[in-house]
Amino acid sequence: MQDTVTIIGNVATDPTQGRTSGGVPVTNFRLASTHRRFDDATQTWIDVGTNWYSVAAFRHLAENVKASLRAGDSVIVTGRMKIRTWENNGKHGTSVDIDADVVGHDLRWGTTAYRRSTSRSSSADHDRQLGDGDSSASIGSGGADETRDIDTPWADPALAREEPGSGELAAAGSAADAWSPSS
C-alpha cells in the first residue's frame, strides 16, 4: 500500500548518494519527526515522541537533495509512503519508507538561498507530456531568447547538468536554532 504523505522534520543523517542497478541516481537519508506539546504543569514544551522515516529521492531530485541537505536541517518531504517489515540476523522490525516527490527546507526555522539547477533535458519533451505545445517559457525581460528549463523527476539522468553542489541551498539555522515559546 502506498499513500502520499507530507512529513515535517529534521534530517537525521547526512544524505548518501548511489545509483540503482539501472544507473538512476538515488539519494537516501533518515528523517526524524518529533512531536511536541505544551506541558501546563511546567510551562514548557516537551518532546512526546519521534517517528523515523527512510527517505529516498531519485533522478534530478536525488542530485539536488545531496547538494542541498545536511544532518540537522529542518525539511518538508512529500512523497509516497510504504510500510514494510524486515528481518536481519534473526531480528524483525518495521520500516517506514518515503519515495520523495518533493523535498524542501522548512523556512519557519531558517532561510535558504534558492538557486535553480540547470538541466539539459528537453523542456519540449516535458511540455508534450503535459499537453502544452509551447516549449519555451519566457521569464524576466530577456524576451524569447531567455527560456527556462523545466526540471522533471523523470528527466534522463545521463544528460549533462551542473556539478553537484553548484545549485546548493545554503540553509541558515537548523533545528538547534529553532524557535520555542520561551525565546
Q: Which of 84-98, 106-120, 157-171 has the highest mean pLDDT?
A: 84-98
Contact 27, 63 (CB under 8 A): yes
pTM recorded for the entire structure: 0.62
Domains of the chain: 3-117+162-177 (2.40.50.140)
Distance (Å, whole) CA 95 – CA 77:
17
Give the phi and the psi of residue 176 in degrees, each rounded to 5.
Answer: -65, -25
For residues 128 and 1, the model is more confident at: 1
For residues 46 and 147, the model is more confident at: 46
Please, which residues have CB within 8 angstroms of residue 94's CB and are 6 or more apart in sequence? 83, 84, 85, 86
Whole-Å CA distances, 16 to 58, 63, 150:
12, 10, 25
Contact 99, 84 (CB under 8 A): no
Please, which residues have CB within 8 angstroms of residue 68's CB and are 6 or more apart in sequence? 105, 167, 168, 169, 171
C-alpha cell at 160: 549533462
Q: Where are the alpha helices (H) located in the chain, listed in sequence order?
A: 59-68, 123-130
For residues 117 and 14, the model is more confident at: 14
pLDDT band at 77 (very low <50, low <70, confident <90, very high): very high
How many Cα atoms sit within 13 Å of 178 on the Cβ side? 16
